[in-house]
Amino acid sequence: MSAVTIAEAVERLRAGDVVALPTETVYGLAARIDSEPALLKVFATKQRPSFDPLIVHVADVASARELASEWPALYDDLAAHFWPGPLTLIAPKREAVSMTITSGLMTVAIRCPSHPIFLQAIRDVGVPLAAPSANRFGRTSPTTAAHVEDEFGGSVAVVDGGASTVGVESTVLSAERSGDSWTIKLLRPGGVSREELKSFLNERQIQFTIQRESSLASPGNLKEHYQPDSPVAIISRAWSAELQALAEKTLQRKITSVSELKLPATPQHAARALYAEFRRLSRTPDHLIVIERRAEHANHEWEAVWDRIERAASLRL
């Protein structure tokens, strides 16, 4: 049994071990940022390539400022409104931040999670915690402690903090000032939607443009990601024998069974359910998971959910 209490988790983290902890987005595989062996163990446990940088989790803005060599005024505003919560801010790093965390980049990704267990762990360890999602590289992120057990066969200690309420990873952004206006680069859509960002900035009469950055701007933000064992197909009309024939032709294998992942009506509910549904419906590679894209999914509110579905999918029919 790999479930541990918060106190045990803190003890292990202090000693330089890795522990899976709940966040409001997904479960994270945490390590103290000042222990090189602990950071390397995160990469080894996940089989994560070294070019994919980690997010540092802090308990407050003051700690974020200690990691960043520049901290734009806009970040104070964003943090005051969206922290603790699913927003990750990219800032130039101070020298003390390990290149193992940033994969050699001169910037560092920082967020303050809202899950009380994660916040307590940061405070009790006394050092910020680096944490990627607690899954094997390229696979579906875990939103429960049981998912973490499935990923690592019980070999990783995990604190059970219930199901993650947001359900998809944090929004990752960077901001640059040009004159009177801010250019916000959206590196990964996530728990804070583009609409929420926009209305926050508009309310404060801040001038801005939001650009969706290509995956390449955020190393490790790979196209194929979040993949369950069964292939995923995005469909634009009801499933039929004709679509099945097309799927078999493209996959070059017989599909023996199909299940439909029915997205809930709101993007918030869909985000909360998505990864658990991938896991529930995933079987063998000759089983197919189909998801129908509806007209309303074109709305920006659905951006994060469809970003993850697009990366999980190997077929568009």
Q: Which of 13, 59, 90, 243 binds ligand TXA (CB under 6 A)?
A: 90
Q: Which is nearer to ligand TXA, 78 or 108 (CB)?
A: 108
The H-or-E segment that residue 276 falls in is helix 267-281
Binding segment for ligand TXA (CB under 6 A), chosen from 86-94, 154-162, 195-203, 262-270, is 86-94
The rounded distance, in Å, linking the Cα atoms of 62 and 271 is 30
Closest distance to Mg ion from the beta carbon of 223 (Å): 14
Rounded to a whole number of angstroms, the minimum distance from the CB of residue 231 to ligand TXA is 22
Query: Tokens 């998809």 label which residue?
Result: 168
List CB contacts of 252: < 8 A, sequence separation 6 or more.
none
**Of 62-70, 203-211, 213-221, 260-268, which segment contacts ligand TXA by CB under 6 A?**
213-221
- Please identify, among the stretches 24-32, 226-234, 247-255, 256-264, the one whose residues bind ligand TXA according to the rule CB under 6 A: 24-32
Q: Which structure tokens are listed for 88?
A: 């990750």
Helices 267-281/145-152 angle, 10° precision: 40
**CA–CA separation, 217 vs 215, rounded Å?**
6
* 161 lies in the site for ligand TXA, by CB under 6 A: no
Q: Is 133 in the site for Mg ion (CB under 5 A)?
A: yes
Could you say which of 35, 88, 100, 144 contacts ligand TXA (CB under 6 A)?
88
Segment (H or E) for 287: strand 287-292
CA–CA dist 190, 167 (Å, integer): 9
In the bound state with ligand TXA, the residue whose beta carbon lies nearer, of 140 and 230, is 140
Nearer to Mg ion, 88 or 282 (CB): 88
Contact 172, 88 (CB under 8 A): yes
First-to-last C-alpha distance (Å) of the chain: 42
Among 84, 85, 132, 161, binds ligand TXA (CB under 6 A): 132
Count of residues touching Mg ion (by CB under 5 A): 1
Site mask for ligand TXA (CB under 6 A), range 189-208, x = bound: --------------------
Q: Residue 116, preceding bond cis, omega within 30 degrees?
A: no
Q: How many CB atoms lie within 10 A of CB 312?
A: 24
Nearer to ligand TXA, 169 or 301 (CB): 169
Residues in binding contact with ligand TXA, number by CB under 6 A = 28
Cα separation, 254 vs 285, in Å, equals 10
Instruction: Restricting to residues 99-128, name those near ligand TXA by CB under 6 A.
Output: 102, 105, 107-109, 113
Q: Which of residues 51-70 bind Mg ion (CB under 5 A)?
A: none
d(CA 237, CA 294): 9
State which of residues 131, 232, 263, 273 lies at the interface with ligand TXA (CB under 6 A): 131
**CB atoms < 10 A from the CB of 183, how many?**
13
Closest CA to 158 of 134, 137, 129, 136: 134
What are the residues binding Mg ion (CB under 5 A)? 133
What are the residues binding ligand TXA (CB under 6 A)? 23, 25-26, 28, 52-55, 86, 88, 90, 102, 105, 107-109, 113, 131-133, 169-170, 172, 187, 218-221
